[in-house]
A and B are shown apart, each in its own frame.
Chain A
Amino acid sequence: MSVNKSLTALSPPGPLSADIQLTADGRLHHFLTIEGLPRTLLLEILDTAKSFAGVKNQAVKKVPLLRGKTIVNLFFEASTRTRTTFELAAKRLSADVLNLNINYTATVKGESLLDTLRNLEAMYTDMFVVRHADSGAAQFIAKHVAPHVSVINAGDGRHAHPTQAMLDVFTIRRHKPDFSKLCIAIVGDIMHSRVARSQILALNTLGAGEVRVVGPKTLIPVEVERLGVRVFHDIAQGLKDVDVVMMLRLQKERMQGALLPSEHEYFQLYGLTEKRLSVAKPDVIVMHPGPINRGVEIASEVADGARSVILEQVTYGIAIRMAVMSMAIGARAER
């Protein structure tokens, strides 16, 4: 199998996600991708999440908003952080949560995906949170679910991971609220990263000053400039005067063929160390979506250092997911 480097090949077939993720009056029904969403809606998600961030300070860390709703975590691919934060977000909204790891359930017995969906709908569920190794999987499910069910994309192949991108911009906003002045470098394996694609779309929609992608030629898709980014293959140049460094995980499981010489050599060329970080702005913040490959894309001294906001990202991930879930389920209200 050959690696397809073209960006257009990553768009799933059929109607665009943007056409199905909003209701007729422009409210969020499904959350599949950042693509096509207006800036006002992204700001609404960020503002709503800001209020949810306060819930953790309550003695009872819960609000009754989604009482009586049932949310299904439909995970076809391994995940710890994303699944647990989606689960916690749903529970803090007082929803009931069902966790399904599909390799253990009916599909191994030969039940088709659509049959699984029909069965879950018949149990009066309200939302599917979907993680899948294939690009376009969440969109496929969104197109086939009953109208009262919302679908949230928790990562589909190399296509999109919109809640991760939103929690990333939320974290940046807490530290550096004026996006127009910011220079942001996304560093590492852009090619296999649904996170990077969603981050670029979110940052551009929110009017970030400059977005850079930094990495070896073999890990950067050829047409990436079309997304409105500057490409750097030299990390010293790429990190010069940046306000934010967004590291990516080296996705060994998605790599086919000889894209990398070795992990050791990758670290020598692109690993983020304190020394490399010294060319960035003095108040630079360092982010990583996790899980971290220590000593591969990032040194422990940086990951655990004063400029790292990696654990804040995890905390804010819950608030962002609470916002998206309550907005999507609330969008079905008649109003």
Chain B
Amino acid sequence: MRRAATPLLIVAALALGGCAIEPWVAPYERANLSDPIMSFSRDPVSASYMNHVHEVREGARGAGSAGGGGCGCN
């Protein structure tokens, strides 16, 4: 029952995005956040490669920074 209610709660919470919410970090305060050193994916070509290096040698997979097909690991 609790699990069945979860999607509805998420819908309700996120639908509040339609209401006006005062941002607690104003646009003019985001200079540091927009610095390239704060990017989660600063160099996509490198992130994709390192993701591949790890995935072919580890049992774990997913929720990484990049996707890709194939194996190259035989």
A binds B: no
- What is A's interface to B at a CB cutoff of 8 Å? none
Q: Which residues of B contact A (CB under 8 A)?
A: none
